[in-house]
Structure 1
Amino acid sequence: MECLGPKCAELLLQWLRDRAAEGSGGPSPGGEGDRDRGRTVQGMLWSSVPYNDEAPAIRSEAELEGAFEHLEYAVFRRFENQLTRAERARLDNTIRNVLYKIERYAARLPGPEGPEVERRRRLIQEAVAEAREKAERLRLQARRADLKLAQLDSLSPEGFEEFVAELFEAIGYEVDRVGGTGDEGADLRVTRNGLRGVVQCKYHKKGVVGSPELQKFLGTIHHTGCHKGFFVTTRTFSLAAERFASDHPIELVDGPRLVELVREAMGPGATKEPEPAWF
């Protein structure tokens, strides 16, 4: 368990003074009450022990707390980070192993303690199942986006919009398709971690996107009350358009950037295909 800040340092220093006083046989600077306080602080600072993956079983409450801390960290790292296939497999094994050991430990506890430990274990197990289902859904969306990436030169504008929607979903956004008549330049609305964004999809086979289109899009961002806008195209942007976007909440996504986003969604270890011929 990690303890940070000046308060922790003060408590640790007091505990060290108490231990030194006990070794010399003399009273601690603060008296008997401070010595008892030091013992209490020691218990607070080291209420768990590091989890040992090689140990066959959990043997104490301190080891149990260490196992829960290790499990929560492993779950976070497994489902909130971009990992290689080997890293994912290693963390999956760790999660299964810790859950099994906690289940065995809970079964040996007397009275109401066992059911409480099992309740904590089940909550984490359910969170793992939910995170795994979400990760698999995003993985499939990323694969569909990757397949469409090589076919963009043959997509219709509607197909391109669908591709962009799947791509934003694959990188963690919630997507609402609002394109069509009266869309006011907003083809998609996206949200992630409190950020509200609007996406305009422009399927261009020739030419560049200039600043007049971005000026109009800025009005859409303000009108929809969004924090940011994403202007997505298969082509490139003019220098004037790039300068305009740098001064406003607009992210430009051109052909090469689309490839980068698909690779990001696929994760480490994805096969690097030749870049599409349309840029």
Structure 2
Amino acid sequence: MVTPLLRRRSWLAVLALLVPLVGVAGTASAQEPAGVRVLQLNLCGSGYAVCWTGRAAPRAAAVIRASAPDAVTLNETCADDVPALRRALAEAHGRAGSVRTAFAPAADRRTGEPIRCRTGGPYGEAVLVWTAGGAGGVATTGAYRVQDPRQDEQRVWACLPTDRLTVCTTHLTSGSPAVTVAQCTQLLRDVLPEVRSGRPGAPVVVAGDLNLVTTSSGSGPAVAPDRDLAACVPAGSRYRHVDDGVQHVLSPDLRPGAVRLLDMRRTTDHPGLLASFSAT
């Protein structure tokens, strides 16, 4: 059976070919408003999923160099690919500063051991942040309390605080809407307040493939309400978001601006999501 979520993914694949795209020959930074720019990517990098091509990481490096974001969040990535993507982000900025990274390996439910990519390195989620000062707190990672018993991959999150910005990423489960919402609720209502308390002056951005949608987006086919992102956003919160359907970039501190889908040229099953934020 083709579920609403799968129909949404198919629609996104078509949309990625139709919307204006950022090429790899130049940078989009001059066209974006001043502020914080975050690039969300799902690389389907394990080597075992049907969406794997083996070409997503090189394409991601080209997209990073072209778009020059302040931060990059990576889902379904391999630890072996992070150094090259870190270099791409440093080269994209081309000036004094440094790139800090965090990686959270996903565990196999059956063994409790980290899942390994086909290349042999750990598989999971990663955050890359360019910083002019290089200072920041200690990265934090963790696994969710509630996991889908029908999926072997145990979902995790990673947060990286820097002098300018704290960035978190996650890839929530896709099999059970109730589990997806429970994981999102833990992230936004438990994890983020603790992360923010460690660096109260730095704005926070959360980006990832949340496998949730916003029913108010007004585009694409109808989606079951039990996959509505609003179900896990804290009541009365100041969260703002931009999204392309199931990938989201959210912030309780910053105002959303321009958003673009970036062409990943059939190297993964998701377009890149480049989102701009400014101070409120």
TM beyond 0.5: no
- The structure that has the greater radius of gyration is 1
Q: Which has the higher helix share?
A: 1
TM-score, L = length of structure 1: 0.30
